[in-house]
Chain A
């Protein structure tokens, strides 16, 4: 089983749609969780951290279910500018911090 698995995509949605990304991770020792966004030919950038209680940042909501080892990202009212690849990222702290990245899910928002 891959360490971090995501829907392969791409997701094609119209403007204004709600879209959900799912992610599962295999290592139960994972300690922190993130969603990164990567625009075409650009570097990944932190979108938001994911907490057990769930967290929201404007149109974006992230959820974590530790029991199921599952992370989600919900985008409401999609904008054209949301078109990007969304990377699910997990941190396993072993005295030093390294991140394991999912392969990403591409989102294409069309007018």
Chain B
């Protein structure tokens, strides 16, 4: 069974704080993804990585950065959190290929006050 874990289920931070969200997968997957999910907007891709130290911008990368130093770990960084970054953050991983499917972690509900 694929297992994707995220460091926190719930997180409360203050405006301007630096926030780290960690994601770890145990299936040796090449690809990892960060999404945010908001009511009425669905899942939106922030960043993804298809190899160690590689990263690609998704649809909404502004205000975020990522780090992938090891294959199993993909971090999302909010350099200076703002209230409009209050959201559910979901990490996913996949093996890659044209018929690829993604496996999601349980999500981190981040509130920025």
Closest to A34 in B: B101
Counting chain A CB atoms within 10 Å of each CB, which of B41, B50, B104 scores highest?
A: B104
Smallest beta-carbon distance B55→chain A, Å? 11
What's the count of A-B pairs with C-beta under 8 Å? 54
**A97 and B31 contacting across the interface, CB-CB below 8 Å:** yes
Closest to A100 in B: B45
Counting chain B CB atoms within 10 Å of each CB, which of A44, A96, A104 scores highest?
A: A96
**A42 and B106 contacting across the interface, CB-CB below 8 Å:** yes
**A93 and B98 contacting across the interface, CB-CB below 8 Å:** yes
A91 within 8 A of B: yes
Closest to A46 in B: B101
Secondary structure type dominating chain A contacts: strand
A20 within 8 A of B: no
* Distance of A102 Cα from B42 Cα, bound (Å): 7
Smallest beta-carbon distance B67→chain A, Å? 18
B37-50 Cβ-contact flags toward A at 8 Å (1 or 0): 00011110100101
From B13-21, B76-84, B89-97, the one touching the partner chain is B89-97
Q: Chain B contacts of A91 at CB under 8 A?
A: 98-100
* Distance of A57 Cα from B94 Cα, bound (Å): 23
**B42 and A104 contacting across the interface, CB-CB below 8 Å:** yes
Report the 4 A-B pairs with minimum CB-CB distance, sorted nearest first: A103-B42, A97-B100, A43-B104, A93-B98
